[in-house]
Amino acid sequence: MFITKIRKNKFEVVVICIAFLISIIWSLYNINNFDNNKINFKGNWYNQLIYADIGHKWRKADDFRKKLNDGESFFEALPIYEKYFLPNIIVGYYYYIIDKEIYEKKPNGQRVIKVDNNKIGLLLAQIIFFYISVIFFASQLKKKVDPLLYKLIIFFLCLEPSIIQWHSTFWTESIFLSLMVILFSLLIKKKDKFIINLFIGIIVGLMFAQRSVSFLYILPILILYFLNFKLNIKPYLFLIIGYSLIVLPIGYNNFKKTGNFHFLSKDHQYYSFYHYFAHVIKADRQKISKQEAKEILLKEEKNWIKNNKIDIKIFDDYVKNIDYRNKIFLKELFENPIFFLKLYTKKIITMSIINPLWTHEHYYYDKSDPESYLNPKKYYHKNLYKSIIYSLFLYPFVILGVFFFIKKIFIRERITEFDFFLIFNIFSILYYLFISGLWGNPKYFAPCMISTIFFFSIGLKKIIIFFQKNKEIKG
């Protein structure tokens, strides 16, 4: 029976096996070549494989592991939601289970992530998780679309380079994308049974726990719910309950450890739009350099802190400082809206450049390198033209797919449940562009790529059918 099932689903088995093998080989390559401890331009040790934002995640994971080793219960040891939450737990618990140290000390007393401490196990686990999620998605998709479109979607979901690259790294994207694929599998089912909608809410909550950018991702899902269920209240209710089962405990855990009930990471809010963009908008408005604008804002903030006797080491004062920063950013935005819109558009375009080697390139970056802040465009975009060429290959098919889909909606052809799902995917892409677009980082386009694959496949299918018909006519 098992052999018969494999033969029946030969296409999926072959594609997933090839993709799985590529991910394993890529993981071994990364471990063998980049699991090295080096010294940066400031004289600090770092692990080339786990650096920058990933390093912060592993520091918190090590704190979690140590608390478990010291006898604290799982819930007592849970970290607060700072930059990351679920990734800290996964890494920390993994090393607690295998009883391995995460860090070692160098002769100068600096701590650095150990080399050869079974990191491959984490990569293997997330690779398996992703392709299990694809198998689940394939089982649902097969019932909703024709065989050609089905094969194209599964093929590119498994093997498209800008997606597959994440599974062999320690960034948060791989597990996030796996959760997203599971979510899409459940959304395609379109059932008002309470357990399905409850589980959808839980998955959205876990996506938020994995990456805070998904805190409001429930909004595009509610649009799909309205298309499918109209005013039937039960599906909405169980969706919210499932979401709350994850989000409320996170808020309570933060409250227990900070005295402030909150969901979103305060560090994310502190180093947010104000930190990165307020001085850019101000510089354009006042026709001064960005550095001058930054110094003016810094001076004003210091005066505000002094006059209001703010101590950011106290959590409540830290929150007040965040509120101050948000107000100043909005003030700058409303005083220079045209420039802001131009900046936002430019950043969204940059974010939407599909980079299939983003993770590989970042093994060679070092934020302490003087060139990284003296000439950031040149330093971080050395291979930009390659990404543009790759993007120019994909986007014509995506645009074609979107065109034919919108045409179908407007001429009011028979609208299927899968069409509602595609409408949701348009809103999903717009959501991530709106939330992350201002950073202009192709890394943040990763969730959009899952949705983009559907429209790419529709466009490619139209081209394939066109050439098949031409061949038949000539034959």
Q: Provide the pLDDT for residue 415.
A: 81
Decide if pLDDT at 245 tops 80: yes
Is a pLDDT exceeding 50 seen at residue 233? yes
Instruction: Round to whole Å and give the CA distance between 382 and 374.
Output: 15
Whether the CB-CB separation of 57 and 172 falls below 8 Å is answered with yes
H or E segment at 45?
strand 45-47
Q: What is the predicted pLDDT for the residue at 7?
A: 61
196: pLDDT strictly greater than 90? yes
Q: Residue 104 corresponds to which amino acid?
A: E
- The residue that leads in pLDDT, 223 or 265, is 223
What's the rounded mean pLDDT across residues 89-93? 97
Residue 78 DSSP SS3 = coil
Q: What is the mean pLDDT of residues 420-432?
A: 96
Distance CA 208, CA 136 (A): 21
Strand partners, 113: 103
Alpha carbons 415 and 32: distance in angstroms, whole number: 50
* CA dist., res. 437 & res. 336, Å (int): 18
User: What average pLDDT score do residues 262-268 get?
Assistant: 82
3-class secondary structure, 39: strand
Q: pLDDT tens digits for 365-385?
A: 888 888 877 787 778 878 888
**DSSP letter string, 288-308:** --HHHHHHHHHHHHHHHHHHT
Asked if pLDDT for residue 9 goes beyond 80, the answer is no
Long-range contacts of 232-241 (CB under 8 A, 24+ apart): 232/192, 234/192, 234/194, 234/197, 235/192, 235/197, 236/197, 237/197, 238/194, 238/195, 238/197, 238/198, 238/201, 239/197, 239/198, 239/200, 239/201, 239/204, 240/201, 241/198, 241/201
Split at pLDDT 50, 70, 90, the class of 3 is: low
pLDDT of amino acid 8: 62
- With b meaning 16 or more CB within 10 Å and e meaning fewer, what string describes 344-364? beebbebbbbbbbebbbebee
The reported pLDDT for the residue numbered 327 is: 95
Q: pLDDT tens digits for 92-113?
A: 999 999 999 999 998 888 999 9
Res 164: pLDDT? 97
> Region 340-356: what's the mean pLDDT?
95
The rounded distance, in Å, linking the Cα atoms of 387 and 409 is 32
pLDDT per position as a tens digit, 293-343: 999 999 999 999 999 999 988 888 888 999 999 999 999 999 999 999 999
The span from the CA of 263 to the CA of 255, in Å, is: 9
Rounded distance, CA 432 to CA 176, Å?
13
Confidence of residue 2 (pLDDT cuts 50, 70, 90): very low
Mean pLDDT of the chain: 92
The whole-number pLDDT of residue 382 equals: 80
Look at 411 and 113; give whichever has higher pLDDT: 113
Residue 385 pLDDT: 86
Judged against a pLDDT cut of 80, whether residue 225 lies above it is answered with yes
- The rounded percent of the chain whose pLDDT value lies above 90 is 75
pLDDT at 190 over 80: no
pLDDT of residue 313: 84
Q: Which pLDDT tens digit goes with each residue over 20-60? A: 999 999 999 999 999 999 998 888 899 999 988 888 899 99
Task: Provide the percentage of residues in the chain whose pLDDT is more than 70.
Answer: 97
409: confidence class by pLDDT, cuts 50, 70, 90 = confident
Task: Say which residue, 163 or 52, is predicted with more confidence.
Answer: 163
